Amino acid sequence: MKAVVFDRFGGPEVLESRELPDPTIAPDEALVRVRACGVNHLDLWVRSGLRGLDCEMPHVLGNDIVGEIEAVGAAVRHVKAGDRTLVLPTLSCGVCPACFAGDDHLCRHHDVLGRKRNGGYAEKVAVPAANCLPYPDNLPWEQAAAVPLVFLTAWHMLVGRARLRPGEDVLVIGAGSGVGSAAIQIALLIGARVIATAGGASKVERARRLGAHEVIDHAREDIEARVRVITKKKGVEVAFEHVGGRVFEQGVASLAKNGRLVTCGATAGGDVKLDVNRLFGRHLTLMGSWMGRRSDLIEVLKFVRSGQLTPVVDRVMPLAEAREAHRRIEAREHFGKIVLVP
């Protein structure tokens, strides 16, 4: 099969198109012919070399996989060859106390397809058959591949962690990212007022068209100052953050009394300054969020099928152009998801 792989960590230049043997499947696995695969920031981190990461080499990235099932192992009963599927990107043991409680994202063996185990930057991929979810038939392959990881993550952040409520103000940092564009839609579905940030006039306008009630150009405006103006000095009840560094600090400063900040990433750096007086004096809650539960994605797909949530695709590119897809994301030129097709 054709695949894009790397066998050393580094920049986009380490990605190479190669021929690899077709994957073999275990009795509880399925072989999926990949029709489209979304690109995530996680791919960039893995490619550049996450500390302590011992990944399969040569390594095939790709968390967001949609396609057709070509074969299933002898123990598989719920899906069959010929079925279309959207693959749950997260991996867990299924038998620990966290998994039994439905908190599979807290499993000690939790992982993501394409992180340690080979993923979907290929014509075929072997996945646990339990991860093969019913395909949302209202979407073309390329759009469906923009759903899994970002909507799973954003849903768990806003619904599972922050408990966003109708009528609340929510600050969505980075509307141009896949997770940011998903968060805007989820917040609107809940009935919140969305204040979104984006960098540059074109992205600000796209955030507005996506439904954001208010927009902030974080390339030239101070986030905290604008939030205070928009909310008449109150601040936002929820800040949705995935950047880290100075942006995290501005998110905290933008919170109203009893406000909640939820974060899932630190693309701008993990070191931040925190004024503890502000933390306890304003009764704030700061929380991290890691991926999401299997049940979160199943819930999301109900709204995807109804058309109430629509994945935003920046562009569709051939798999062989994975280097350019990574470069475009690193340069922050995208709005929404980039999707690769074999």
Q: Does 54 have pLDDT greater than 90?
A: no
Q: Does 50 have pLDDT greater than 90?
A: no
Q: Does 284 have pLDDT greater than 90?
A: yes
Q: Could you name the CATH architecture of 151-288?
A: Alpha-Beta Complex (3.90)
Is 220 within 8 Å of 211 (Cβ atoms)? no
pLDDT, tens digit, for every residue of 295-339? 999 999 999 999 999 999 999 999 999 999 999 999 999 999 999
Could you give the CA distance from residue 3 to residue 245 in angstroms, rounded to a whole number? Answer: 35
Q: Does 209 have pLDDT greater than 90?
A: yes
Q: What pLDDT band is residue 51 in, cutting at 50, 70 and 90? A: confident
Q: What pLDDT band is residue 68 in, cutting at 50, 70 and 90? A: very high
pLDDT, tens digit, for every residue of 104-158? 999 999 999 999 999 999 999 999 999 999 999 999 999 999 999 999 999 999 9
User: Across residues 13-27, what is the average pLDDT?
Assistant: 97
* Torsion on CA atoms 269, 5, 147, 259, rounded to nearest 10: -10
Say yes or no: do domains 2-146+312-341 and 151-288 share a fold.
yes
pLDDT, tens digit, for every residue of 158-173? 999 999 999 999 999 9
Judged by average pLDDT, the poorest of 1-15, 45-59, 100-114 is 45-59
What is the model's pLDDT at position 59?
97
Q: State yes or no: cis peptide before 166, omega within 30 of 0.
A: no
What is the model's pLDDT at position 19?
97
Beta bridge partners of 285: 260
Domain ranges of the chain: 2-146+312-341, 151-288
Is 150 within 8 Å of 182 (Cβ atoms)? yes
219 or 162, which is more confident? 162
In CATH, what number does 2-146+312-341 get? 3.90.180.10
What is the model's pLDDT at position 53?
85
